[in-house]
């Protein structure tokens, strides 16, 4: 098991390296550069040249990449080219915000989705099953910004229960954070519940067709007990991987929700910095996102192996 | 003056309470109606008299995580507004469209407007306690000169020297006469800092406020730490700026009362908002205009008939309605807005005329000229749609226009000034001659239409050198007529600035220069109780 984890971590580092090269090439391919993005239509050839010189953009791309890599290997993520602030101090509060919102949404969404999925499986074909299916399909089919605007219109503006601006600051207390981030959280929950719930329902139901479940039914066990105790453990592996996928989405894919609710998270930062070609910050954000995917996928695999002893023995 | 008038006067000054006034007035035999009328007028007046105190919450679009307090880096609303809260300029662009004294208390031309003398205010202190003098002014202006990365560099290009005459007097010398130099110095990049100042993370200025927190692209908070030297400005105790780049989010924050004032109201929402009783729309017609720039020296646009055909084939009314919901005015193919004192009122407004356009196109005598408009929403939001509208209206005149959507990234660097027919925009300039010099002088680096006309150059030089306003007018009118008739710029629309604020905000007035009172909202605004 330890070997497996170490092996996966090693591969993860290689993947990160590859990702950083891809991100760098990506930002280089984009037309324009930081200097032109900052000065826009108030650029004169002289001020552009001076700014490029100040930012070190006159040096070849390959040198800039290895400089950056050298810094990172020494724990120095560099400084934002645009405002000179240390990349880590720039990112840290944003990252904390992103993780907070992701955790907030996950804590509500994962139990809710699995619970609904199990209930739907137990009541397969019943009214509840159909209602849940239809409702979650609706929420996943509507674009997230539209859900967000609906929530703002009815819950924030008309009823005035929750604020439409989730502009949390480092001084905001935990309880206030829960309050401010409530609508973004609900939006995210609505977006991800369907996927996890349907996977739970489908994989439980597929296990329900196996002979040992028939045995359990014949033994006279209650349906709920069969589903929770006998079917669920064997249906866990696909559910875990779908949950991991959705958790990753909560961290890396929420830029639209952040924008609509003015929530200062990483996605918003990355979009800003990509449009300005501020490479060190883009790289750092990209690495965080890539690492999130790698770690979550690894965790999902390990949990899947733990939940299914058959996977522990390589064939 | 009767006893009642005396007490009414006291009431208006706020020297007696409402309760006391009612008692006195009733004792003097005034009717209930008279008393309530006097009270109401006192309330209305109190609403208009600026009050000290309170924290204003602004929700502003136009901010980014890459923002910096460095004045040379300003390019959008959030930092422009913040800059005016922290720093003062030399000259302010007043609401009447004229230059007003700021840190310079007076200014006059010398040597036929080739030199300008600025007399600086005495006894103004920076936030670090140091007194403001000529050295500080010179240092701050020089930030935008020579080897600089400043966005204000072009403003200072004609400046050849800035020298100190005495402790409170400086002289700015130019490479040619410019009667409008004070207008140029109203540029928002000009913020005065102490001589040698470099640490922008801890700004030192003469402004109304000091920096409290700065989280670029997220929020900025300023607080008042001392009395402002301008007696009629700087009422607030503090300002909280929340950067809200999404226009619906900005509106929602205002409607739900989490924010007191916002900029850039979505024009589609204005009609809806104006029905709301608790907020006000601030609408200012200004100099911002959309441009479709044809380079006059490149085929087929070197043919004046092609230029005229395309101008006639532009449906201005439709563009104004479709892209700006009518909040603006149609343009007349020259860059001077109708509210400018030098606007040529006698020039007939060009209208969409497919027949005349077709005739001009035929007169050009070109078989299948390739007309390709390069448009990008980097120019302004809607530039691509503007191109599509031109394409449609031109096709009715039998003119085929191809539209190429350019990526927003690097648009200003790679496409603008390089393509022969490109969408762009200009923010207004304070002075007509400034606008004409910056974009239409033959040698100007931003001459996007490659307009180079000897007669025009002469008129421009004459206008800049002439300090008598009556004598300059014909020059500037003539230049507008020339651009309208022969120039390479299609200017369909001048856009209005649209801000909004809750009823409790006072002092947020319209200004044609830029949104949020030309960026002076922090100095001017106050809160009603």
Could you read off the pLDDT of A25-74 as tens digits, one per residue?
887 887 777 777 777 777 777 778 888 887 777 788 888 888 888 888 88
The answer to whether the Cβ–Cβ distance between A43 and B151 falls below 8 Å is: yes
**pLDDT interval class at B226 (50, 70, 90):** very high
All residues at 6 or more sequence positions from B224 whose CB lies less than 8 Å from its CB, including other chains: B208, B209, B210, B234, B236, B237, B238
Three-state DSSP at B70 gives coil
Contact B244, B61 (CB under 8 A): yes
Q: Which two tokens stand for residue B501?
A: 């604020």
Three-state DSSP at B277 gives coil
Nearest CA in chain B to A260: B249
The answer to whether the Cβ–Cβ distance between B243 and A262 falls below 8 Å is: yes
Q: Which helix (H) or strand (E) holds B161?
A: strand B159-166
Q: Stretch A144-148: mean pLDDT, rounded?
A: 86
B256 closest CB neighbour out of A157, A167, A169:
A157
Handedness of CA B19, B20, B24, B30 (dihedral sign): negative
Q: Which residues of B touch A45 (CB under 8 A)?
A: 445
Q: Stretch B82-86: mean pLDDT, rounded?
A: 96
Q: Which two tokens stand for residue B377?
A: 């929403």
The answer to whether the Cβ–Cβ distance between B413 and A83 falls below 8 Å is: no
CA–CA min distance A160, chain B (Å) = 7
A125: contact with B, CB 8 A cutoff: no
B66 closest CB neighbour out of A33, A163, A273:
A273
Nearest alpha carbon to residue B421 among B289, B279, B292: B292
At residue B44, does pLDDT exceed 60? Answer: no
Q: Which helix (H) or strand (E) holds B210?
A: strand B210-215
Q: Which two tokens stand for residue A191?
A: 């977006």
Three-state DSSP at B425 gives strand
Q: Which residues of A touch B414 (CB under 8 A)?
A: 31-32, 36
Per DSSP, helices labelled H in B416-495 are: 432-440, 454-465, 469-486
At residue A315, does pLDDT exceed 70? Answer: no
At residue B121, does pLDDT exceed 50? Answer: yes
Q: Which residues of B touch A82 (CB under 8 A)?
A: 65-66, 68
Interface residue of B252, B258, B434 to substitute, partner A, most A CBs within 10 Å: B252
Phi, psi of B328 (to 5 degrees): 165, -170
In this prediction, residue B1 carries a pLDDT of 46
pTM: 0.84
CA–CA min distance A50, chain B (Å) = 6
CA–CA min distance A251, chain B (Å) = 19
In this prediction, residue A267 carries a pLDDT of 84
Interface residue of B62, B65, B69 to substitute, partner A, most A CBs within 10 Å: B65
Q: How far apart are alpha carbons A1 and A7 in whole angstroms?
A: 10
**pLDDT interval class at B209 (50, 70, 90):** very high
Contacts 24+ apart (CB under 8 A), A264-267: A264/A93, A264/A94, A264/A97, A264/A167, A264/A168, A264/B215, A264/B217, A264/B218, A265/A94, A265/A97, A265/A98, A265/A101, A266/A91, A266/A94, A266/A95, A266/A97, A266/A98, A267/A98
Q: Stretch A267-274: mean pLDDT, rounded?
A: 83
Helix, strand, coil tally for chain A in percent (to 5) = 80, 0, 20
Contact B273, B500 (CB under 8 A): yes
Q: How far apart are alpha carbons B77 and A69 in whole angstroms?
A: 35
Q: Which residues of A touch B291 (CB under 8 A)?
A: none
Average pLDDT of chain A to the nearest whole number: 84
Nearest CA in chain A to B259: A165
Distance of CA A206 to the CA centre of its chain: 28
Nearest CA in chain A to B448: A41
Local structure of residue B76 (DSSP, 8 states): S
Average pLDDT of chain B to the nearest whole number: 89
Nearest CA in chain B to A279: B66
Burial (CB count within 10 angstroms: exposed 0-12, middle 13-18, buried 19+), residue A67: middle
The 10 Å CB-count burial string (b at 16+, else e) for A201-214 is bbbbbebbeeeebe
A163: contact with B, CB 8 A cutoff: yes
Q: How far apart are alpha carbons B264 and B58 in whole angstroms?
A: 12
Angle at A180 between CA A178 and CA A181, to 5 degrees: 65
pLDDT tens digits for B146-196?
888 888 888 898 999 999 999 999 999 999 999 999 999 999 999 999 999
At residue B21, does pLDDT exceed 80? Answer: no
Nearest alpha carbon to residue B67 among A132, A200, A213, A80: A80
Please tell me which residue, A314 or B108, carries the higher pLDDT value. Answer: B108
At residue B13, does pLDDT exceed 60? Answer: no
- Beta pairing partners, B173: B115, B161
Q: How far apart are alpha carbons A277 and A281 in whole angstroms?
A: 9
A165 closest CB neighbour out of B68, B149, B242:
B242
**pLDDT interval class at B448 (50, 70, 90):** very high
A84: contact with B, CB 8 A cutoff: yes
The answer to whether the Cβ–Cβ distance between A264 and B216 falls below 8 Å is: no
A36 closest CB neighbour out of B68, B410, B425:
B410
The answer to whether the Cβ–Cβ distance between A149 and B248 falls below 8 Å is: yes
Nearest alpha carbon to residue B152 among B191, B115, B125: B191
Please give, one letter per residue, the 3-state secondary structure of B97-115.
CCEEECCEEEEEEECCCCE
A147: contact with B, CB 8 A cutoff: no
Contact B525, B506 (CB under 8 A): yes
Nearest alpha carbon to residue B80 among B191, B185, B159: B191
Q: What are the structural domains, with CATH classification, of chain A? A: 95-271 (1.10.3720.10)
Local structure of residue B130 (DSSP, 8 states): P
At residue B47, does pLDDT exceed 80? Answer: no
Contact A120, A229 (CB under 8 A): no
Burial (CB count within 10 angstroms: exposed 0-12, middle 13-18, buried 19+), residue A185: buried
Nearest alpha carbon to residue B71 among B231, B161, B158, B187: B187
Three-state DSSP at B150 gives coil
The answer to whether the Cβ–Cβ distance between B59 and A165 falls below 8 Å is: yes
Q: Which two tokens stand for residue A214?
A: 């028939």
Q: How far apart are alpha carbons B434 and B327 in whole angstroms?
A: 25
Distances in Å between the Cα of B52 and the Cα atoms of B16, B429, B495 are: 19, 33, 34
Interface residue of A165, A180, A267, A271 to substitute, partner B, most B CBs within 10 Å: A165
Q: Stretch B368-388: mean pLDDT, rounded?
A: 91
Handedness of CA A128, A131, A135, A136 (dihedral sign): positive
At residue B46, does pLDDT exceed 60? Answer: no
At residue A92, does pLDDT exceed 70? Answer: yes
The answer to whether the Cβ–Cβ distance between A264 and B413 falls below 8 Å is: no
In this prediction, residue B407 carries a pLDDT of 87
Q: Which helix (H) or strand (E) holds B173?
A: strand B169-174
Nearest alpha carbon to residue B315 among B273, B352, B359: B352
Q: Which two tokens stand for residue A242?
A: 């779908």
CA–CA min distance A64, chain B (Å) = 20
Other Cβ atoms within 10 Å of A89 Cβ, number? 11
Mean pLDDT is lowest, of B105-109, B273-277, B410-414, B460-464, for: B273-277
Greatest mean pLDDT among A31-35, A46-50, B33-37, B356-360: B356-360
Q: Which residues of B touch A156 (CB under 8 A)?
A: 252, 256
- Beta pairing partners, B239: B56, B222
Interface residue of A44, A51, A154 to substitute, partner B, most B CBs within 10 Å: A44
A89: contact with B, CB 8 A cutoff: no
Antiparallel, parallel or unpaired: β B219-223 and B402-405: unpaired
Q: Which residues of A touch B408 (CB under 8 A)?
A: 275
All residues at 6 or more sequence positions from B205 whose CB lies less than 8 Å from its CB, including other chains: B86, B87, B88, B126, B127, B191, B192, B193
In this prediction, residue B14 carries a pLDDT of 55
Q: How far apart are alpha carbons A244 and A304 in whole angstroms?
A: 11
């Amino acid at each position: 098991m330890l070997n497996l984890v170490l092996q996966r971590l090693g591969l993860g580092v290689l993947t990160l390296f590859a990702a950083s090269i891809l991100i760098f090439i990506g930002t280089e391919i984009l037309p324009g550069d930081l200097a032109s993005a900052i000065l826009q239509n108030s650029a004169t050839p002289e001020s552009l040249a001076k700014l490029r010189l100040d930012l070190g953009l006159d040096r070849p791309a390959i040198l800039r990449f290895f400089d950056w890599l050298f810094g990172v290997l020494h724990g120095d993520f560099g400084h934002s080219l645009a405002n000179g602030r240390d990349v880590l101090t720039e990112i840290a509060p944003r990252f904390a915000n992103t993780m907070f919102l992701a955790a907030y949404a996950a804590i509500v969404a994962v139990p809710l989705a699995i619970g609904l999925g199990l209930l739907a499986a137990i009541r397969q074909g019943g009214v509840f099953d159909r209602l849940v299916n239809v409702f979650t399909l609706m929420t996943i089919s509507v674009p997230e910004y539209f859900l967000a605007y609906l929530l703002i219109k009815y819950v924030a503006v008309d009823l005035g229960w929750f604020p439409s601006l989730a502009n949390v600051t480092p001084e905001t207390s935990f309880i206030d954070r829960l309050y401010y981030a409530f609508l973004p959280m609900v939006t995210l929950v609505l977006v991800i519940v369907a996927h996890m719930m349907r996977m739970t329902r489908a994989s439980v139901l597929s296990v329900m067709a196996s002979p040992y479940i028939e045995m359990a039914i014949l033994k006279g066990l209650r349906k709920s007990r069969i589903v929770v105790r006998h079917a669920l453990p064997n249906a866990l592996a696909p559910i875990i991987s779908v949950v991991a996928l959705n958790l990753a989405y909560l961290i890396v894919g929420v830029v639209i929700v952040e924008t609509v609710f003015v929530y200062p998270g990483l996605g918003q930062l990355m979009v800003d910095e990509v449009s300005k070609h501020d490479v060190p910050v883009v790289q750092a954000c990209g690495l965080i996102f890539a690492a999130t995917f790698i770690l979550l996928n690894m965790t999902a695999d390990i949990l899947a192996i733990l939940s299914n002893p058959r996977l522990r023995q390589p064939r | 003056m009767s006893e009642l008038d005396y007490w009414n006067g006291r009431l208006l000054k706020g020297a007696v309470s409402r309760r006391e006034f009612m008692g006195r007035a009733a004792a003097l035999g005034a009717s209930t109606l008279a008393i309530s009328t006097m009270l109401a007028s006192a309330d209305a007046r109190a609403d208009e008299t600026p009050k000290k105190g309170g924290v204003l919450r602004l929700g502003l679009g136009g901010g980014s995580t890459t923002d910096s307090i460095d004045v040379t880096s300003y390019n959008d609303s959030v930092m422009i507004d913040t800059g005016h809260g922290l720093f003062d300029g030399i000259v302010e662009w007043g609401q009447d469209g004229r230059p007003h004294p700021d840190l310079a208390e007076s200014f006059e031309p010398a040597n036929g407007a080739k030199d300008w003398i600025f007399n600086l205010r005495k006894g103004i202190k920076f936030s670090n306690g140091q007194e403001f003098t000529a050295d500080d002014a010179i240092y701050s202006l020089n930030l935008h000169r020579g080897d600089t990365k400043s966005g204000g560099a072009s403003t200072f290009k004609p400046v050849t020297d800035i020298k100190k005459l005495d402790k409170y007097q400086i002289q700015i010398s130019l490479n040619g006469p410019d009667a409008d130099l004070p207008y140029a110095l109203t540029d928002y990049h000009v913020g005065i800092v102490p001589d040698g100042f470099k640490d922008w993370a801890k700004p030192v200025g003469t402004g109304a406020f000091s920096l409290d927190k700065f989280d670029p692209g997220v929020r900025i908070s300023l607080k008042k730490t001392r009395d402002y030297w301008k007696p009629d400005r700087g009422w607030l105790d503090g300002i909280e700026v929340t950067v809200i780049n999404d226009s619906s989010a900005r509106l929602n924050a205002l409607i739900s009362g989490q924010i007191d004032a916002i900029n850039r109201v979505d024009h589609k929402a204005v009609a809806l908002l104006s029905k709301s009783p608790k907020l006000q729309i601030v609408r200012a017609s200004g100099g911002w205009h959309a441009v479709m720039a044809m380079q006059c020296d490149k085929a087929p646009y070197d043919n004046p008939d092609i230029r005229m055909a395309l101008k006639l084939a532009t449906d201005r009314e439709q563009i104004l309605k479709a892209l700006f919901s009518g909040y603006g005015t149609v343009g007349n193919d020259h860059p001077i807005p109708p509210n400018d004192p030098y606007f040529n009122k006698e020039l007939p407004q060009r209208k969409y005329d497919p027949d005349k356009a077709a005739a001009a196109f035929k007169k050009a005598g070109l078989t299948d000229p390739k007309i390709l408009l390069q448009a990008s929403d980097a120019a302004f939001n809607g530039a691509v749609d503007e191109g599509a509208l031109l394409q449609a209206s031109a096709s009715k005149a039998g003119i085929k226009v191809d539209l190429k959507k350019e990526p927003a990234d690097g648009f200003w660097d790679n496409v603008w000034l390089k393509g022969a027919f490109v969408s762009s925009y200009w923010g207004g300039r304070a002075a007509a001659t400034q606008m004409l010099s910056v974009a239409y002088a033959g040698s100007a680096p931003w001459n996007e239409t490659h307009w180079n006309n000897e007669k025009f150059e002469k008129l421009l030089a004459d206008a800049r050198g002439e300090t008598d306003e009556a004598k300059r007018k014909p020059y500037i009118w003539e230049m507008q007529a020339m651009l309208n008739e022969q120039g390479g710029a299609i200017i369909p629309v001048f856009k209005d600035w649209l801000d909004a604020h809750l009823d409790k905000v006072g002092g947020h007035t319209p200004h044609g220069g830029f949104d949020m009172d030309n960026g002076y909202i922090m100095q001017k605004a106050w809160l009603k109780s």
